[in-house]
Amino acid sequence: MKNISLNFFKIEPGNVFLGRDNGGLYFAAERPRHKVDIKYNFEITKNCITEEEWNEVFKENEVVPNYNQFNQKNIEEFFEIINRENKDFKFRLPSESEWELAKSQLNDLTVIPNKHGELIADQPHVSYWGAPCNGSPWLENNSKSAGFGMQCTKSGKSTKRKSITPGISLHKSHKRNIKFRIVKLPKSHIDSSKRHLPSEFDRFEILKREIIIAILIGIIPSFIWAYFNASPGYIVTGFGNLIMGGVFFSLFTGLIFRPRHSTLEVTENKIISISPYRKQIKTIISFEDEHP
């Protein structure tokens, strides 16, 4: 890139796990936990783009966008300029999986993450259902989008022993102090993925699980309580109330606690679901009948 010199780290192919398998409704936006295989090399800048570098890129513009309060249009223009000046490589924001893989391979944990949060290329979505599994940014517009005017960021804290990374957080495009890094890829690299996670969870499995949980932790305890504490005959006269009370209690506990969900992985010809408890493996999508 003309007039600016950036220090890039080379990142080797690898895999990362995104999302969480926590079962409570509170964690629904971070499910499903899934494995992303990145089979290509890429480079990422050691540091976030500085104000001096930002101004240098926009120096030929009549008006230089505010570095401390840029928006999505400014970011798009920034990358349009630097990509126009380079014939061998292309530059963009890192995808979430690229960001995580880079963080896992860098020894200096003070480099990543930036404490204010860093922009990534993925568009905000309300969950990981439908996400690509090859490292490409999730740019597809669909019904699960979190809305126009929002941007995905990554943030976290580093310690001497390990780096702690929360899930995606959403920020308005005018959020102050948000910074970004640059990913460098060969011009021939194509950001696309024909294979995504399923677009939604198995509703029948969830319903079946909720019925079992409601019976075990809600309805049965309600009748046990009534048997020992209520007046004679209440189990018969208050039968419906006991059932509804048990169901309500079960649903309330579902906000925070539920058994962990399965982790999804993409193999050569299928997507499999791996149970966190008995390690049962179930095929949920097969690609064997696909034609090239």
Residue 234 CA to residue 52 CA, distance in Å, equals 76
The predicted-structure confidence for 200-248, as pLDDT tens digits, reads as follows: 888 888 889 899 999 999 999 999 999 999 888 899 999 999 999 999 9
Mean pLDDT is highest, among 115-124, 195-204, 210-219, for 210-219
Instruction: Answer whether residue 116 shows pLDDT above 80.
Output: no
Residue 261 CA to residue 25 CA, distance in Å, equals 11
Q: What per-residue confidence (pLDDT) applies to 165?
A: 44
What is residue 80's three-state secondary structure? helix
* Side-chain half-sphere exposure of 193, counting CA atoms within 13 A: 20
The predicted-structure confidence for 41-95, as pLDDT tens digits, reads as follows: 999 998 889 999 999 999 888 889 988 888 888 999 999 999 988 888 999 999 9
Cβ(45)–Cβ(6) under 8 Å? yes
Q: What per-residue confidence (pLDDT) applies to 168?
A: 47
Q: What per-residue confidence (pLDDT) applies to 112?
A: 64
Cβ(113)–Cβ(166) under 8 Å? no
Question: Which residue from 138, 165, 133 is spatially nearest to 15, judged by alpha carbons?
Answer: 133
Cβ(214)–Cβ(243) under 8 Å? no
- Cα 180 to the chain's mean position, in Å? 17
The CA-based angle 84-89-94, given to 5 degrees, is 95
Cβ(50)–Cβ(56) under 8 Å? no
Instruction: Answer whether residue 114 shows pLDDT above 80.
Output: no
